[in-house]
C-alpha cells in the first residue's frame, strides 16, 4: 500500500456472506415471490419423469392407448407450464439482481465521492475504476442468476431424491452415494478459483491503471515528447503477460472442473443399469422396465442440478474475492464527514469571516508537519494574499477551509463556527475555488459551466463568461456554448480553460473565494482583463489569493508570507516592504528579473552596429 493510503478492512467469509445477505434485505418481497415460483416450477418438473413409469408399465406394456395418450398429453401440458414458470422466476431473479446491482454501484460511487482527498492522492485511478466497473460487473452473475440457480437446483435435488426413493430405494442409495464426491470436488476447486479470480482482478486493475495513465491526452503527450515508447511498451507487455497467465489458469480450471463432472455423470447411469439388471435377473418382480426408465429420467434430472450446484459453489466461493474487494472500499472510513450536531450555513446570512487558530497539519500520522501554528483572521470582504516559495504550504492551507482536509490540531472557523461543526454541503455551497490546475469535463462548455450552477440560464452563463473575458471567444466557435471541449479541455488553450474555470466560479457566486494562481495561464492582456473581472467578483467576498506574481496582489488587505509551513510575515504590501524580510526579497527578485527581461528585449530589438 502506498504511503498515506487509508488501511483497507479485511473480512472473513462469514462476514462477507452476512454483508451479501444484507444486500437482499430491501427486496424481501421480491425474493420470496421468486422462491415461490422456483418451488412451483420444481414440483411441476417432477411429474413427467414419474408419469413415464405409468406410460411404459400401464400403457405400452399392457397395450392401453388411452393411458399412453392421457399421460403423454399431461406431460406436454405440465412441461409447457413448468417452462413458463421457469421463465417467470428467471425474469424475477434478473430484476431483483439488477436492482441490487444499481444499489451497489450507487453506494460505492457515493461512498467514494465522500472519501477524503488523501484517498485519491494515494490510490491509482485505474484501481478505483476496476472496482467500480469490473468488480461490480463480476458479481452481477452471482446476484442476478447464481443465487436463484442455487435455490432451484437445491430444490430439484431434494425433490428428485424423494421421488427416487419412492421409485426404488436401492437404486437411490447407489446414486446418492456419489453426491459427496461432487461436494468435495466443488469445495477444493472453489477455493483455488477464489485465488485465481483475485489474481485476475488485481492484474486487470494494474493493466487498467497503466492504460488509463498512458492512453490519456497527458500520457500520450508524455510518451511522444520523451520518445521512450519502448519503455511503456515493455511495461505493458509485462502486465499483459501476467494477466494472460492468470486467465489461462482460470480457463484450465474451468475445463478440468467440467471434465470431471462429465466423467462422474457418465459413470453413474452405467452403475444404475448394472444394479437394476442384477435385480431383474435375480427375479425381483418390482423391477420393471418402466421403473428403470423413470428412475433414469429422475437420475438425469438429479445430476444436472448437482452439476449446477457445483458450478454455483465454485462461482460463489470465487466471487467472494470480488465482494471482498468491493466491501473493502465500502468499509473505508470517510474520515471527513458531518458531526452528529453539525449545523447548516445559509448563504444569505453568511458574513464570510475566516479564522485559523493555532492550526497544525500533516498528511501522514508519522510524517513531518506541513503547516505549523497557523493563526490569522480574514474579515468579511477582505482580500488575503498567500505568498511564499513553492512547497511552503500555501495550497494546503486553503484546502482546510472547504474541509478537503481537516486540521490535525487547532481549528478553522467560518463566522466564528468551527468547520467541523458545520454541514459539509453548506460549506461547499459558500466556498468556491479556481485552482492552478484547471479541470474540465469531456462535455460542452455549457455543461462545464453548469457544474457550478445546474439551473443557470443562458443569460447567466454569458454574463459570467463576459466577466471572465471569454464570451467573445466562445461565440466565435462553430457551436458556441455547445462546443465539446475534449478530455480535460484539451481543445482549448491553457488561458481559455482558466477563463472558463473563472467563469464557473463567477457563476457559483460563492461567499468565500479561493484563487490558486488563477491567472497563471493568461497572457498579459487577458490577465489585465481578468484582474478587472476578479475585482468585481471579489467585492464583498472574502478572497484568498495564492500568487507567485506579486504584482497581482499589491492591493491585498492582508498578505501572509508562508515559509516552511509557518506564517513568517504578515501585513500590507508597503508594510512588508519596509520590514525588508522574506516578502521584500521575493518582491525585489521578481522586479529585478522583470527588469532584466525588459532590458534583454530592448537589446534584441535595438539595431546592431553596421546594419
pLDDT of residue 55 exceeding 90: no
Q: Cβ neighbours of residue 257 under 8 Å, at least 6 residues apart?
A: 185, 189, 310, 311, 314
**Mean pLDDT for the chain overall:** 79
- Give 261's pLDDT tier (boundaries 50, 70, 90): low
- Contact between 383 and 538 under an 8 Å Cβ cutoff? The reply is yes
Domain extents for the chain? 13-330, 347-438+504-603
pLDDT of residue 11 exceeding 80: no
The whole-number average pLDDT for the span 513-534 is 69
The three cell numbers locating residue 85: 414458470
CATH 3.40.50.300 at 347-438+504-603, yes or no: yes
Distance CA 40, CA 155 (A): 10
The predicted structure's pLDDT at residue 448: 87
pLDDT of residue 483 exceeding 60: yes
Distance CA 514, CA 520 (A): 14
- Give 501's pLDDT tier (boundaries 50, 70, 90): confident
pTM for this predicted structure: 0.65
Question: pLDDT: is 278 or 198 the higher one?
Answer: 278
Q: Which of 97, 95, 92 lies closest to 33 in space, CA to CA?
A: 92
The predicted structure's pLDDT at residue 108: 84
Give the best-scoring range by mean pLDDT among 39-43, 236-240, 291-295: 39-43
pLDDT of residue 126 exceeding 90: no
Question: pLDDT: is 525 or 270 the higher one?
Answer: 270
The whole-number average pLDDT for the span 179-183 is 67
pLDDT of residue 376 exceeding 50: yes
Question: pLDDT: is 121 or 479 the higher one?
Answer: 479
The whole-number average pLDDT for the span 142-161 is 78
The whole-number average pLDDT for the span 22-36 is 86
The predicted structure's pLDDT at residue 354: 94
Strands 409-414 and 431-434: unpaired
Strand-by-strand arrangement of the 409-414 sheet: 371-378, 354-361, 409-414, 417-418
Return the bridge partners of 374, or none.
359
The predicted structure's pLDDT at residue 565: 92
pLDDT of residue 273 exceeding 80: no
**H or E stretch at 219:** helix 217-226
- Contact between 387 and 568 under an 8 Å Cβ cutoff? The reply is no
Strands 354-361 and 409-414: antiparallel
The predicted structure's pLDDT at residue 598: 46
The predicted structure's pLDDT at residue 328: 83
Distance CA 411, CA 309 (A): 58
- Give 359's pLDDT tier (boundaries 50, 70, 90): very high
Q: Which of 241, 253, 378, 239 lies closest to 317 in space, CA to CA?
A: 253
The predicted structure's pLDDT at residue 526: 63
Distance CA 123, CA 8 (A): 12
Question: pLDDT: is 131 or 556 the higher one?
Answer: 556
The predicted structure's pLDDT at residue 5: 47
Residue with cell 491585498: 556
Question: pLDDT: is 224 or 370 the higher one?
Answer: 370
The predicted structure's pLDDT at residue 1: 39
Distance CA 82, CA 51 (A): 15
CATH 1.20.1560.10 at 13-330, yes or no: yes
What is the share, in percent, of the chain residues with pLDDT greater than 90?
A: 12
- Output the DSSP codes for 472-519: HHHHHSTTGGG-B--GGGTTS-HHHHHHHHHHHHHHH--SEEEEESTT
* Alpha-carbon separation of residue 500 from 167, 446, 471, 496 (angstroms): 80, 10, 9, 6
pLDDT of residue 287 exceeding 90: no
The CB density around residue 374, as the number of other CB atoms within 10 Å, is: 23
pLDDT of residue 135 exceeding 80: no
Taking the CA of residue 189 as centre, how many other CA atoms within 13 Å lie in the half-sphere pointing to its CB?
27
- Give 13's pLDDT tier (boundaries 50, 70, 90): confident
Q: Tens digits of per-residue pLDDT, 575-586?
A: 999 998 888 888
Distance CA 148, CA 383 (A): 63
Distance CA 512, CA 401 (A): 9
Same fold, 13-330 and 347-438+504-603: no
pLDDT of residue 564 exceeding 60: yes
Alpha helices in 215-288 (DSSP H): 217-226, 229-281
Q: Tens digits of per-residue pLDDT, 209-218?
A: 666 666 655 5
Amino acid at each position: 500500500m502506498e504511503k498515506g493510503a487509508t488501511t483497507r478492512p479485511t473480512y472473513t467469509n462469514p462476514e462477507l456472506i452476512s454483508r451479501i445477505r444484507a444486500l437482499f434485505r430491501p427486496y424481501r418481497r421480491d425474493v420470496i415471490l421468486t422462491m415461490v415460483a422456483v418451488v412451483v416450477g420444481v414440483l411441476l418438473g417432477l411429474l413427467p419423469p414419474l408419469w413415464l413409469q405409468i406410460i411404459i408399465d400401464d400403457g405400452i406394456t399392457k397395450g392401453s392407448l388411452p393411458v399412453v395418450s392421457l399421460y403423454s398429453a399431461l406431460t406436454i401440458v405440465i412441461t409447457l407450464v413448468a417452462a413458463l414458470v421457469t421463465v417467470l422466476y428467471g425474469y424475477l431473479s434478473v430484476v431483483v439482481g439488477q436492482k441490487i446491482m444499481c444499489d451497489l454501484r450507487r453506494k460505492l460511487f457515493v461512498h467514494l465521492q465522500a472519501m477524503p482527498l488523501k484517498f485519491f492522492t494515494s490510490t491509482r485511478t485505474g484501481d478505483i475504476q476496476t472496482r467500480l466497473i469490473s468488480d461490480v460487473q463480476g458479481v452481477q452473475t452471482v446476484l442476478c442468476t447464481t443465487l436463484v440457480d442455487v435455490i432451484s437446483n437445491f430444490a430439484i435435488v431434494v425433490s428428485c431424491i424423494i421421488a427416487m426413493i419412492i421409485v426404488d430405494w436401492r437404486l437411490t442409495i447407489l446414486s446418492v452415494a456419489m453426491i459427496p464426491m461432487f461436494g468435495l470436488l466443488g469445495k477444493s476447486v472453489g477455493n483455488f478459483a477464489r485465488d485465481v479470480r483475485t489474481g485476475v482482478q488485481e492484474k486487470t486493475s494494474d493493466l487498467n491503471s497503466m492504460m488509463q495513465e498512458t492512453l490519456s491526452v497527458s500520457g500520450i503527450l508524455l510518451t511522444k515528447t520523451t520518445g521512450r515508447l519502448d519503455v511503456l511498451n515493455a511495461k505493458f507487455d509485462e502486465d499483459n503477460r501476467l494477466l494472460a497467465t492468470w486467465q489461462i489458469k482460470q480457463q484450465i480450471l474451468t475445463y478440468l472442473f467440467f471434465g470431471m463432472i462429465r466423467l462422474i455423470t457418465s459413470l453413474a447411469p452405467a452403475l444404475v443399469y448394472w444394479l437394476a439388471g442384477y435385480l431383474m435377473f435375480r427375479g425381483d418382480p418390482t423391477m420393471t422396465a418402466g421403473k428403470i426408465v423413470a428412475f433414469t429420467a429422475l437420475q438425469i434430472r438429479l445430476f444436472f442440478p448437482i452439476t449446477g450446484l457445483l458450478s454455483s459453489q465454485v462461482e460463489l466461493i470465487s466471487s467472494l474475492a470480488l465482494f471482498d474487494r468491493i466491501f473493502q472500499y465500502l468499509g473505508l472510513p470517510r474520515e471527513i464527514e458531518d458531526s452528529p450536531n453539525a449545523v447548516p450555513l445559509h448563504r444569505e446570512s453568511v458574513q464570510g469571516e475566516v479564522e485559523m487558530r493555532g492550526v497544525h497539519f500533516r498528511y501522514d500520522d508519522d510524517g513531518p508537519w506541513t503547516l505549523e501554528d497557523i493563526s490569522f483572521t480574514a474579515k468579511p470582504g477582505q482580500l488575503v494574499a498567500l505568498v511564499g516559495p513553492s512547497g511552503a504550504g500555501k495550497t494546503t492551507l486553503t484546502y482546510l477551509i472547504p474541509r478537503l482536509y481537516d486540521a490535525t490540531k487547532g481549528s478553522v472557523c467560518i463566522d466564528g463556527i468551527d468547520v467541523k461543526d458545520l454541514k459539509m454541503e453548506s460549506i461547499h455551497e459558500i466556498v468556491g475555488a479556481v485552482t492552478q490546475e484547471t479541470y474540465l469535463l469531456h462535455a460542452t462548455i455549457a455543461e462545464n459551466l453548469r457544474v457550478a450552477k445546474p439551473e443557470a440560464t443562458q443569460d447567466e452563463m454569458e454574463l459570467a463568461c463576459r466577466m471572465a473575458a471569454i464570451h467573445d471567444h466562445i461565440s466565435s466557435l462553430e457551436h458556441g456554448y455547445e462546443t465539446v471541449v475534449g478530455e480535460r479541455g484539451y481543445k482549448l488553450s491553457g488561458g481559455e480553460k482558466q477563463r472558463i474555470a473563472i467563469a464557473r466560479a463567477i457563476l457559483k457566486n460563492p461567499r468565500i473565494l479561493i484563487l490558486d494562481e488563477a491567472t497563471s495561464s493568461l497572457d498579459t492582456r487577458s490577465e489585465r482583463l481578468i484582474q478587472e473581472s476578479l475585482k468585481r467578483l471579489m467585492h464583498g467576498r472574502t478572497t484568498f489569493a495564492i500568487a507567485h506574481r506579486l504584482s497581482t496582489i499589491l492591493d491585498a488587505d492582508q498578505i501572509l508570507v508562508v515559509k516552511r509551513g509557518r506564517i513568517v510575515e504578515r501585513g500590507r504590501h508597503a508594510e512588508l516592504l519596509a520590514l525588508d524580510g522574506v516578502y521584500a526579497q521575493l518582491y525585489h527578485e521578481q522586479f529585478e528579473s522583470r527588469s532584466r527581461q525588459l532590458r534583454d528585449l530592448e537589446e534584441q530589438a535595438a539595431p546592431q552596429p553596421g546594419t
